[in-house]
Structure formats: structure tokens, C-alpha cells
Amino acid sequence: MDETMFETGMEKRKATLGAAYVETAMDGADDFSRPYQGAMMA
């Protein structure tokens, strides 16, 4: 995934859901859920 696209997705996701929620979701992602969390940025 393009780094710029990822960062743009993170900014939009944080604006929608709140930075604390997104950071908690990313920090808690494991090998199973990490691909899903990353896909939410695209």
C-alpha cells in the first residue's frame, strides 16, 4: 500500500472515529486483525 494513501486514510479515520479509538485499534491489532485494520485505510 502506498504510504501517502495510508496516511491520508489514517487522518480521515481519526477525524471520523476519533484519534484515541483508531490508535487503540491499531495498537491492539494482532496477526489476524492487522490486515483488516490496514485495509480500512485504503
How many separate helices (H) and strands (E) can be counted in the chain? 3, 0
pTM for the full predicted model? 0.71
Distance, CA of 32 to CA of 13 (rounded, Å): 20
Q: Residues 9-38: pLDDT tens digits?
A: 899 999 999 999 999 988 998 999 888 887
Distance, CA of 13 to CA of 24 (rounded, Å): 13
Residue type, 7: E
9: which DSSP letter? H
